[in-house]
Structure 1
Amino acid sequence: MAARRGGAPARRRLHRRRSRRGARPRARRGDPGDTRVSLIVKVAGRGDGVTANGRYAAFAAPGDTLADDGSVLPGPHHQVPPCRHFPTCGGCQLQHLDDPSWAGFITERVGSALAAQGLVAPIRAPLLSPPRTRRRATLHFEPSGRLGFSAEKSHQLVDLQECHVLAPELFALVKPLKRLLASFRAKRRLDVHLALADQGPDVLVTGVAPEGLQHHDSITAFAQAHGVARVAFDDGLGAETRWEPEPATVTLGDVAVPLPPGAFLQATHEGEAALVAAAREAIGAPRTVADLFAGLGTFALALPARVYAAEGGRDALLALKAGAGRAGRPVFTEHRDLYRRPLTATELDRFDAVVLDPPRAGAREQAAQLAASKVPVVAYISCNPSSFARDAKEMVEAGYRLDWVQPVGQFRWSTHVELAARLSRA
């Protein structure tokens, strides 16, 4: 019987075709006994397989063999990508890797970043989030009616028919959202921010605003039919909520925190739990903690201490303040831009520990003040191993010891790597 369109056999053929690069000769199966083949030993930062002698091959896994003509013989760690959209869709880059080789890629990324700064530390086994657990994502909608992620290295949209990373509650909204947004007759691309609140899916559409009773009725019908917690729109003047039968919240620690439209959340519940556990292990049981770049309070509300929380985003900080106040938590909040006005060494010396969770750019200015401080222990949470290693180097040179690094793979089959690390005064 012929293979069903989009099934595993068809995906294998697509995967093999897209594994070739440029104008290489027609691919053939490599022979492991052929002296012209090379073993793939690792996966580079952008997802290509690399041989010991520096040859690169797209969509190759460690243990694969690469022939001179560019053909790849799959090895023990090479899996058939489960999704029909791979590798076109930019949501994933590594679906051809099994979990051990994906974990190896994550460890290699962290180790390479440390080595580039002359740092050495124990790197723990990565903690990986399962498929279909992403609770936060941004999709795009085009006037043509397509809704999905951008294609890899392109502005073209992949019209999602399946997704193996999104939580089922979010993927279930793809088709209904296409019907809803088509009625807006937008003339440009819209961004659709999805998240899982305690009450259900949260939807923020940017780039358009509803007009008239017809749009109002369509939004209400969509939200009621699909159990949506909130629908909001932002046409450039700020988010305006159009459906929210009860206030949307997200539970952090055991505290229900108001969830602003489009707010940042850790990508998966599993990833959040791993990072929180690592932070708590790193700082132990201090009396006072500074949580810097605190966001909604992912760490501040999970720490058994009196917490000072600094955050530059006003909406996030107000939500944290409200949640902590209702729960009676000892959290003092301050609206503060830690890039322009980092806590000084003198201010930092008041705390028994610091939790630092900056954006991808890292926290160069704050790390310099920490390096000059006497803070006994720092839990550094990072979504960029390179900026983390840069900041950690400055602190190590000032007398801190990098005790361990815990990598976390929240973004399934992605080259995006996160980590938690402990730095303590030697």
Structure 2
Amino acid sequence: MSEDLHEELIERLAARGDGVTAGGRHVAMAAPGDYVLDDGSLRHGPHHVDPVCQHYGVCGGCQLQHVDDVALANFVMERVVNAAKGQKLEPEHVTPVHLSPSGARRRASLHGQRVGGIALGFREAHAHTIVDQKQCPVLAPELEAIVDPLRRMLQRREGKLAVDIDLTLTEQGVDVGIKGFKVEGLAETEAALDFAREHKLARLSLDQGYGPEALWEPEPVTVSLSGVSVPLPPGAFLQATVDGEQALTAAVTRWLKGAGAVVDLFSGLGTFAFALAKQGSKVLAVEAERAAHLACKAGAAGTQLPVLSMHRDLFRNPLLADELNRFPAVVLDPPRAGAKEQVGRIAGSTVQRVAYISCNPSSWARDAVTLIEGGYRLVELRPVGQFRWSSHVELASLFIKG
């Protein structure tokens, strides 16, 4: 606390981005080093900056535009390290935080609704109301540029309207998937095709209640994973930024270098499988989602890389210890819930090195305890903040047996 007893110092950021005083008071839009006054106003400190977006404070997409990169990196670090400490985990080495720059997001999910005019953007924080997005400094410029044309296209439709829109930047351009947007008759179909053609979309997919169907796709849509062009199914998971993906794959390839064979669990499109195969490992890529599995398989078929794809639900049917024992190394990148059953099998195996990627420090820490109990050491922990200005953080970790 400062010498003025009517001020409280903001010492840190809470998990959702609020500033927190030594007494535990939570203050919205406060940065570490700020002082909160009796009336609730703030006296800004050295880590407080002006937000770069006009929607900040209303839009729920960002929680931390009011802090500088030092405070942002500290926030990411503390989220990851505190999750480890909460489970009494002691990493032997913690690397500096990787922060993605602004304008780097290559995928986003927006919502559109007719409320007088068309509101198109992210939802407000803690609400269902849609912020009519006029700018978004986190999005790649190609994605930001398509938002206003989409708004105008939706505006031309009559009647009620409520849609969800997925945007992804691919090798061929912007992939647009719209759910809840029905096209009936020749005129509406031609209008949608004209829109896709005019804006040089890579693909326009519509989900009219039966799953996404490509209405426009001049050539097969692909994404580059470690230089391998891999088919991109509509709605498939993809790391949010290219630089974030590169930070994660760089960690995994360094940690598992020299492993003759690696099993990639929850492999998705092959983000880690192709990177590992390029440095000489034979990779078994195991994935439950059928479209992603087939995309990875197709990507491997177009190369000479030793990547073998397996379709298997690792939640219901995890690889057993006897199967895992054939591999000196494992990489896994499970959903937010973690991989309790699969990690239990890994803990009981003879696998020497485990690279665990996670988008949820809490579930990762619980799984990490199982690995430690199975005789592994937490050798390295790497925090990654690729969702810039968001409270969402990721990490990469290396466990070694013995």
TM-score (norm 2): 0.96
CA separation in 1, counterparts of 2:318 and 2:159? 42
Q: What residue is the counterpart of 1:324 in the other structure?
A: 300
Contact 1:282/1:421 (CA < 8 Å) preserved in 2?
no
CA separation in 1, counterparts of 2:53 and 2:352? 47
Following TM superposition, by how much is the alpha carbon of 1:380 offset from its aligned partner in structure 2, in angstroms? 0.4
The alignment status of 1:288 with 2:261, answered yes or no, reads yes
1:205-251 CA-to-partner distances (Å, cap 9, x unmatched) read: 01233112222222222222222100000122121111111111101
Q: What residue is the counterpart of 1:89 in the other structure?
A: 59
Specify the SS of the correspondent of 2:83: helix
CA separation in 2, counterparts of 1:47 and 1:290? 36
CA separation in 2, counterparts of 1:184 and 1:240? 20
**Equivalent runs, 1:68-83 vs 2, <5 Å:** 68-83=38-53
- Counterpart among 419, 422, 426 of residue 395 in structure 2: 419
The alignment status of 1:137 with 2:92, answered yes or no, reads no
Specify the SS of the correspondent of 1:405: strand
CA separation in 2, counterparts of 1:392 and 1:331? 27
Taking structure 1 as reference, are residues 295 and 186 closer, same or farther at Cα in structure 2, changes over 3 Å only? farther
The alignment status of 1:60 with 2:22, answered yes or no, reads no
1:141-192 CA-to-partner distances (Å, cap 9, x unmatched) read: 1023110000000000000011110111001111111122234446352110
Following TM superposition, by how much is the alpha carbon of 1:55 offset from its aligned partner in structure 2, in angstroms? 1.7
Letter matched to residue 319 of structure 1: A
Letter matched to residue 208 of structure 2: D
Q: What residue is the counterpart of 1:365 in the other structure?
A: 341
Contact 1:184/1:210 (CA < 8 Å) preserved in 2?
no
- Counterpart among 105, 110, 123 of residue 75 in structure 2: 105
Specify the SS of the correspondent of 1:143: strand
Contact 1:371/1:394 (CA < 8 Å) preserved in 2?
yes
Letter matched to residue 79 of structure 2: R
Letter matched to residue 110 of structure 2: L
Q: What residue is the counterpart of 1:233 in the other structure?
A: 206
Q: What residue is the counterpart of 1:400 in the other structure?
A: 376
Contact 1:186/1:208 (CA < 8 Å) preserved in 2?
no
Higher mean Cα deviation, 380-389 or 210-219? Answer: 210-219
CA separation in 1, counterparts of 2:157 and 2:383? 43
Following TM superposition, by how much is the alpha carbon of 1:420 offset from its aligned partner in structure 2, in angstroms? 0.4
Contact 1:63/1:77 (CA < 8 Å) preserved in 2?
yes
CA separation in 2, counterparts of 1:143 and 1:235? 18
The alignment status of 1:35 with 2:10, answered yes or no, reads no
The alignment status of 1:268 with 2:241, answered yes or no, reads yes
Specify the SS of the correspondent of 1:358: coil
Which of structure 1's runs of 4+ aligned residues deviate more than 6 A?
A: none
CA separation in 2, counterparts of 1:195 and 1:165? 13
Number of aligned residues: 396
**Equivalent runs, 1:170-185 vs 2, <5 Å:** 170-185=143-158
The alignment status of 1:120 with 2:90, answered yes or no, reads yes
- Counterpart among 349, 355, 362 of residue 386 in structure 1: 362
CA separation in 1, counterparts of 2:350 and 2:344? 12
Contact 1:40/1:49 (CA < 8 Å) preserved in 2?
yes
CA separation in 2, counterparts of 1:123 and 1:347? 31
CA separation in 1, counterparts of 2:198 and 2:161? 27
1:52-74 CA-to-partner distances (Å, cap 9, x unmatched) read: 22121111111111223322111
Structure 1: segments with no counterpart, 5+ residues: 1-30
Percent identity of the aligned residues?
53
Following TM superposition, by how much is the alpha carbon of 1:32 offset from its aligned partner in structure 2, in angstroms? 5.3
CA separation in 1, counterparts of 2:194 and 2:358? 40
- Counterpart among 300, 307, 311 of residue 287 in structure 2: 311
Contact 1:147/1:158 (CA < 8 Å) preserved in 2?
yes
Higher mean Cα deviation, 51-60 or 415-424? Answer: 51-60
The alignment status of 1:200 with 2:173, answered yes or no, reads yes
Following TM superposition, by how much is the alpha carbon of 1:39 offset from its aligned partner in structure 2, in angstroms? 1.3
Alpha carbon RMSD of aligned pairs, Å? Answer: 1.3
Q: What residue is the counterpart of 1:344 in the other structure?
A: 320
Letter matched to residue 286 of structure 2: A
Contact 1:288/1:351 (CA < 8 Å) preserved in 2?
yes
Letter matched to residue 122 of structure 2: F
CA separation in 1, counterparts of 2:270 and 2:166? 20
Q: What residue is the counterpart of 1:375 in the other structure?
A: 351
Following TM superposition, by how much is the alpha carbon of 1:33 offset from its aligned partner in structure 2, in angstroms? 4.1
Q: What residue is the counterpart of 2:189 in the other structure?
A: 216
Following TM superposition, by how much is the alpha carbon of 1:264 offset from its aligned partner in structure 2, in angstroms? 1.1
**Equivalent runs, 1:155-174 vs 2, <5 Å:** 155-174=128-147
Structure 2: segments with no counterpart, 5+ residues: none
TM-score (norm 1): 0.91
CA separation in 1, counterparts of 2:84 and 2:159? 46
**Equivalent runs, 1:13-52 vs 2, <5 Å:** 33-52=3-22
Following TM superposition, by how much is the alpha carbon of 1:110 offset from its aligned partner in structure 2, in angstroms? 0.7
Q: What residue is the counterpart of 1:9 in the other structure?
A: none
Letter matched to residue 103 of structure 2: R
Specify the SS of the correspondent of 2:264: strand
Contact 1:60/1:78 (CA < 8 Å) preserved in 2?
yes
Contact 1:345/1:370 (CA < 8 Å) preserved in 2?
yes
1:329-369 CA-to-partner distances (Å, cap 9, x unmatched) read: 21111111111111111111111100000011111111111
